[in-house]
Structure 1
Amino acid sequence: MAGKDRFSTTTRLRLLGEQTAARVYRSQTRRQARRSRLTGRAALLVLVMCTLVVALAYPIRQYFSQRTEISDQEHARNEAARRVEQLRDAKARLQDDAYIVRLSREHLHYVKPGETGYTVYDPEANGTARRPGHDEAAEQPWYSNLWGGVDEADRREP
């Protein structure tokens, strides 16, 4: 019967269960060993990466901030140089007597001796027809002119 025990269903099931349990146990121990080894490595890797990020974050932020500031300063320098060039041109023009004469004739209505100056009023240019030389504001007291200006400003606003 010993031979029969060896081939009996109960014996086979018991052996099969033991073999399966042994395989499962070996598999679990391998997985646990692998998991613990990877977890330690992963934790170390995460720690190193976090340290690098923390160590480099502030200098990188400062670098980009300084690059932006440098760009702004270069732009301001270029604008200042352009403005200096414009002022030098204006200064050079103001050194020319012919330019000064032209400006005084255009803006101040100066005329040379012997010339006759004319001022042409276009009543349609500003929308009201007035006689040249007739100043209504000069005929009124100053406070009427002040309040008239305030009232006119109120009428113009939407």
Structure 2
Amino acid sequence: MPARDHRDRFSTATRLRALGEQTAARVYRSQSRRQARRSRLTGRAALLVLVLCTLVVALAYPMRQYVSQRNEIADMREQLREHRANVERLRDEKARWEDPAYARQRIRERLHYVLPGETGYTALVRGAALQGPQPGGAVSHRAWYANLLTGIDRADASDR
């Protein structure tokens, strides 16, 4: 039998079989190395993804707060701009009221004052005596005493 193994060892079929087994062993080792590399890369990738997700979750709330505070700051700057414009308007109005001629003119218009020697006229509009305060708090352009008398008449009528 040993002589036969000697011949079989050099036969083409035996050589091809041995070559095939060696090739299969190399492929198997190569595949197991690739799988080992893949599993290591997959573990590293999973760790990287876990770290990134943790960072995103950890930074989400502070970023949301940052954005909302930036919006709040922008709103407050807009309010500040509006308030400054209102202050300027009120300063201008105050300066106008400090002028005696302007104050006298406005007082005469609103209170229907006349100077000694002048004759005052009030034009009555049909139904104006029946008008009271306007809905929504709008100011009536009637004389102050007309509003006063209308209020007294209404109070007197509500008692009856």
Aligned with residue 76 of structure 1, among 76, 79, 88: 79
Q: Using the alignment, how far apart are the partners of 2:125 and 2:73 within structure 1?
A: 54
Q: Using the alignment, how far apart are the partners of 1:25 and 1:100 within structure 2?
A: 105
Q: Using the alignment, how far apart are the partners of 1:98 and 1:56 within structure 2?
A: 64
Aligned with residue 67 of structure 2, among 64, 67, 78: 64
The C-alpha deviation readout for 1:6-50, integer Å capped at 9, x for no partner, is: 567xx7996797467546524531331122121122022113312
Structure 2 SS opposite 1:56? helix
Aligned with residue 158 of structure 2, among 119, 143, 148: 143
Cα distance change of structure 1 residues 16 and 94 upon mapping to structure 2, 3 Å threshold: same
Q: Using the alignment, how far apart are the partners of 1:125 and 1:104 within structure 2?
A: 22
Instruction: Calculate the TM-score normalised by the size of structure 1.
Output: 0.62
Measured after TM superposition, the shift of residue 60 of structure 1 is: 2.2
Q: Using the alignment, how far apart are the partners of 2:56 and 2:24 within structure 1?
A: 46
Q: CA RMSD in A?
A: 3.9
Measured after TM superposition, the shift of residue 72 of structure 1 is: 2.0
Measured after TM superposition, the shift of residue 98 of structure 1 is: 0.9
The C-alpha deviation readout for 1:92-149, integer Å capped at 9, x for no partner, is: 11111111111122221111111111112233889xxxxxx9x9x95xx5138x9xxx
Instruction: Calculate the TM-score normalised by the size of structure 2.
Output: 0.61
Does 40-49 or 11-20 show the bigger shift? 11-20
Question: Structure 1 unaligned runs (5+)?
Answer: 127-132, 147-158
Aligned length, in residue pairs: 135
- Aligned sequence identity (%): 62
* 1:1-158 pair list within 5 angstroms: 6=11, 18=21, 21-22=24-25, 25-123=28-126, 142-143=157-158
Greater relative CO (CA pairs within 8 A, separation 6+): 2
